[in-house]
């Protein structure tokens, strides 16, 4: 009989890391296919509206699951929010950098598989800002509600060619 836990435990660490990255690429592919299917059938506005609603729900669910699985405590601040983001299903396939200082952090996305796929296919960028405004803030609210997220750069706004978006994470003053 097949025992998934036993099979996973037998895999070398490098293979497990590759498997996580592959699942993340699969997640991005499914998300992109889903979005594109809705867009083709109902238009970009409906696709974005549904995408925002899905991210509102899924970001909370995923953050709660990660928090429980990793034992992330209450009020862990910006570092706990960032740690949670590192373990989100989309994160291993995305390319992002974190710049940390004493009271805030900047998350800069340099590789965005959904946007890059759309550009490659000639259908153009989509306005993902509201999706991530809800998604990132929901993660912060689950992990540490004191952390506030601010969008600095994100489509549909202009962005430099070497980055897609930039977000600031900061503990709000009391």
Residues sharing a CB contact under 8 Å with residue 134, sequence separation 6 or more, in sequence order: 52, 55, 56, 59
In tens, the pLDDT along 30-57 reads: 999 999 999 999 999 999 999 999 999 9
Q: What is the arithmetic mean of pLDDT over 80-91? A: 96
Say yes or no to pLDDT of 144 above 90.
yes
Query: For residue 74, what pLDDT is reported?
Result: 85
> What percentage of the chain reaches a pLDDT higher than 90?
94
Average pLDDT, the chain: 95
Q: Which domains does the chain have, with CATH numbers?
A: 4-171 (3.30.1380)
């Amino acid at each position: 009989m097949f025992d998934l836990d036993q099979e996973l435990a037998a895999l070398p660490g490098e293979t497990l890391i590759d498997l996580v990255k592959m699942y993340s690429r699969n997640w991005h592919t499914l998300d992109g296919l889903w979005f594109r299917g809705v867009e083709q059938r109902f238009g970009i506005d409906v696709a974005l509206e549904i995408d925002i609603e899905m991210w509102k729900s899924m970001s909370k669910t995923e953050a709660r699951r990660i928090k429980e699985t990793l034992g992330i405590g209450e009020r862990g601040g910006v570092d706990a929010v960032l740690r949670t983001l590192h373990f989100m299903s989309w994160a291993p396939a995305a390319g992002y950098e974190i710049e940390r200082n004493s009271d805030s952090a900047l998350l800069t996305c340099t590789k965005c598989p959904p946007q890059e796929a759309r550009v490659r296919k000639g259908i153009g960028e989509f306005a993902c800002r509201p999706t991530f405004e809800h998604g990132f803030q929901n993660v912060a609210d689950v992990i540490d509600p004191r952390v506030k997220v601010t969008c600095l750069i994100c489509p549909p706004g202009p962005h430099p060619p070497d980055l897609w978006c930039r977000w600031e994470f900061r503990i709000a003053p009391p």
